[in-house]
Amino acid sequence: MTSPIEKAIQTALQRLTESDGDSLDALTSLIAALKPKSREDEASAVAAWETLVRLLNENDAYQTALRNNLADLFATRHSTAFFASAGLLPNTGFFSELRRKLVHKLLPEVLDLNELKDCVHFLFPDGQKRMAPISAEQRERFWAAVNLEKLPEQTLKSVLHPMLDAVLEISHRIGAMGLEPELARIRPRIREGLSPFIALNSEVLKFASDYRQSLAEASTISEDEKHALVLLAQCRDEVSRARQAALMRGTSMSLSYLLIRLEQHLSRLELLLRVMSAYYDPDARTQLASHWSALMMHALDGERQHNSLRKHFSDLAGHMALRVTENAAHTGEHYIAQNRVEWLGIWRAAAGAGILIALLALLKLLGSSLHLALLNQALLNGAIYGLGFALVHVLHFIIATKQPAMTAAAIAGTISQTQGRIRDMQRLTDLSIATLRSQLAAIAGNVMAALPLALLLGMLAGVAGISLISTDKAQHLLHEIDPFGSAALIFAAIAGVWLFVAGLVSGYFDNLAAYAEIGKRVAHLPWLKRWAGKEKADRVGAYIDQNMGGLSGNLFFGLMLGLTPAIGLGFGLPLDIRHVAFSSANFGYALTTLDFGLSIREVIRCILGIALIGMVNLVVSFTLALWVAMRARGADFKDAANLPPELWRQFRTQPGRFFWAGR
């Protein structure tokens, strides 16, 4: 029994066989028959597509009608812009293109149906979203069923001429992009006449000239695409090297945008060259459907997201995030102890930070007694936090909650390399265990230094008859870390978000320092060299190069910890932060103020609150940082699907590895 979908497709194909006018209307009916009723109904979309392919293979009349109508669509419209621009970023720049997309969302463009690009939007008014489930293999089978080899010679030439014009247009764009100063800055050899982009343009000009002559004389081409493809591969290698150089020398929005455009244009040029050559190469005829399908997929899918804001941000943000997280990954390696010496070093560094945190918590408590205006109090708290965290960084101490944003990037880099391969899983497992062990050591070091010192300072103040905080304030501090009677865990999550953002800020300023050569500029300041001498000025510049990101991230994190409660009060929102190390210090000051007059139940409740606050701080910041780092590297969480079971197996067999390091 024929299904309703098959009946609709047969009716549309029959209309194609009877069409003697504009092919656009007939093709619109076919596409409407292929679309499922719901965008979420992927199974119906795939079933309809498979039905279409089957009917084309079974009925020569349907196949001929569809092939001729498609050829007519390409031949009677201006198609050069479609081949040369559909789905490719223009040279206007990131923000100009963003502005265009925003305007289009509010005020859609008027379609010109004489342009093939606009015909695509007419045929797919929903942006092909309902056709998205169709795989590359299924699309290739469709074009094989259409059998493009049977196109009449004259029709074929009417399609190939615009493709040839598109090849020349794309080649000239690639040559121009290859000369951009932004690219030459990180790849100086381009300035020395060694640019593969210029060589590619010259070779494509030769190929196009020979190809145009072969079309005019109906002869075979003597200048094939093979040499152009070799040069194209060299251009791709140059783009890859430019990306690697950007990791060391910094990147910018304009450079990232340029590299994305280059990659897109190189891919489009390769597809066009392969399709055009396949028509004249008997050995490549069998691959014609594959090349044409890849070209259509590249152009149509790109055009489908022509006005997508999400895609626009995703492409560029991914490359920018890679630079930001790459620095974090290198930094994160220093927070992961692989042996006992490094593990004990984390304990010592965390204990040093714990001592400073106890003092910072005391300063904040004393500062709150000044009863300043809301914004002034917030700025004072932010300054205490920020300068304190910066001092922790300068002294090479470790705050436990600063680790996840760094270590997540290191783990993401390993996941992207293993890609779920079992033989590489042991490396990822060992790194994850070392990370967990290191972070537990850092938390313990922070808390076990901050809490005792807070108790000691509180008792010394009591002996001296000094009241550090009032009884009401002490009760309030205990309530703040109550995991069940307050919003402590929600506020801990907010702190985790700021920890994650601080990691991005740190990476951004490290990138800025490398890209803008801030350290070198500082070292060459005339007044600094006169005042400190050239050698010391160079050391200052080198220090800024290495620490600009770390200092900026710490200052930002501290400022946001201080400002968040004030922002919440200003907007009438219940916003605040909870940080495990500061919570433990506050617990110590509250205990001494209350003369340890708490029940065992209350003490356990507070200790549990501190532990849960620490866990939320870590989980939130680590998860966000891991997600961004993996997206930046093109890795998928499914690549790490084998990790949790393997960690559990290791914990059952060797639990000690998770808590202390071997020799």
- Note whether 279 and 360 are same-domain residues: no
Residues linked to residue 115 through DSSP beta bridges, in sequence order: 78
Residue 281 above 70 pLDDT? no
- Cα gap 386→7, rounded to integer Å: 69
**Residue that terminates a domain, selected from 273, 307, 341:** 307
- Per-residue pLDDT band for 276 (boundaries 50, 70, 90) equals confident
Contact between 87 and 303 (Cβ < 8 Å) = yes
- Note whether 529 and 439 are same-domain residues: yes
Confidence at residue 638, expressed as pLDDT on a 0 to 100 scale: 63
Residue 528 above 80 pLDDT? yes
- Note whether 303 and 350 are same-domain residues: no
**Residue that terminates a domain, selected from 283, 307, 331:** 307
The CATH number for 372's domain is: 1.20.1080.10
331-370: per-residue pLDDT in tens? 444 556 667 777 788 888 889 999 999 999 999 999 888 8
**Residue that terminates a domain, selected from 307, 339, 374:** 307
- Note whether 374 and 517 are same-domain residues: yes
Contact between 140 and 289 (Cβ < 8 Å) = yes
Q: Out of 36-40, 86-90, 188-192, 505-509, which region has the weakest mean confidence (pLDDT)? A: 36-40
Confidence at residue 423, expressed as pLDDT on a 0 to 100 scale: 45
In a domain, 155, yes or no: yes
Q: Out of 189-193, 440-444, 636-640, which region has the weakest mean confidence (pLDDT)? A: 636-640
Question: Once rounded to an integer, what is the mean pLDDT over residues 368-375?
Answer: 86
In a domain, 359, yes or no: yes
Q: Which of 381, 375, 403, 437 is nearest to 580 (CA)?
A: 403
CB atoms < 10 A from the CB of 300, how many? 18
- Note whether 282 and 344 are same-domain residues: no
446-456: per-residue pLDDT in tens? 999 999 999 99
Q: What token pair was written down for 509? A: 């300023």
Three-class DSSP category at 466: coil
In a domain, 429, yes or no: yes
Between 506 and 586, residue with greater pLDDT: 586
In a domain, 48, yes or no: no
Residue 538 above 60 pLDDT? yes
Q: What token pair was written down for 162? A: 């615009």
- Note whether 184 and 214 are same-domain residues: yes
In a domain, 347, yes or no: yes
Report how far Cα 364 is from the mean position of its chain's Cα atoms: 37
Average pLDDT along the chain: 81
In a domain, 480, yes or no: yes
- Note whether 388 and 437 are same-domain residues: yes
- Note whether 446 and 586 are same-domain residues: yes
Three-class DSSP category at 617: helix
- Note whether 387 and 518 are same-domain residues: yes
- Note whether 219 and 261 are same-domain residues: yes
In a domain, 36, yes or no: no
- Cα gap 239→260, rounded to integer Å: 9
Letter for the amino acid at 325? Answer: T
122-168: per-residue pLDDT in tens? 777 665 555 667 777 888 888 888 887 777 777 778 888 889 999 99
Residue 81 above 50 pLDDT? yes
Confidence at residue 280, expressed as pLDDT on a 0 to 100 scale: 67
- Per-residue pLDDT band for 289 (boundaries 50, 70, 90) equals confident
Q: By residue range, what is the domain housing residue 537?
A: 322-658
51-78: per-residue pLDDT in tens? 888 888 888 888 888 888 888 888 888 8
Per DSSP, the residues of 476-535 read: HHHHHT-TTTSSHHHHHHHHHHHHHHHHHHHHHHHHHHHHTTHHHHHHT-HHHHHHH-HH
In a domain, 579, yes or no: yes
193-237: per-residue pLDDT in tens? 678 898 999 999 988 888 888 877 766 665 667 888 899 999 999
Instruction: Give the single-character DSSP code of 662.
Output: -
- Note whether 512 and 480 are same-domain residues: yes
- Note whether 332 and 267 are same-domain residues: no
Q: Into how many domains does the chain fold?
A: 2
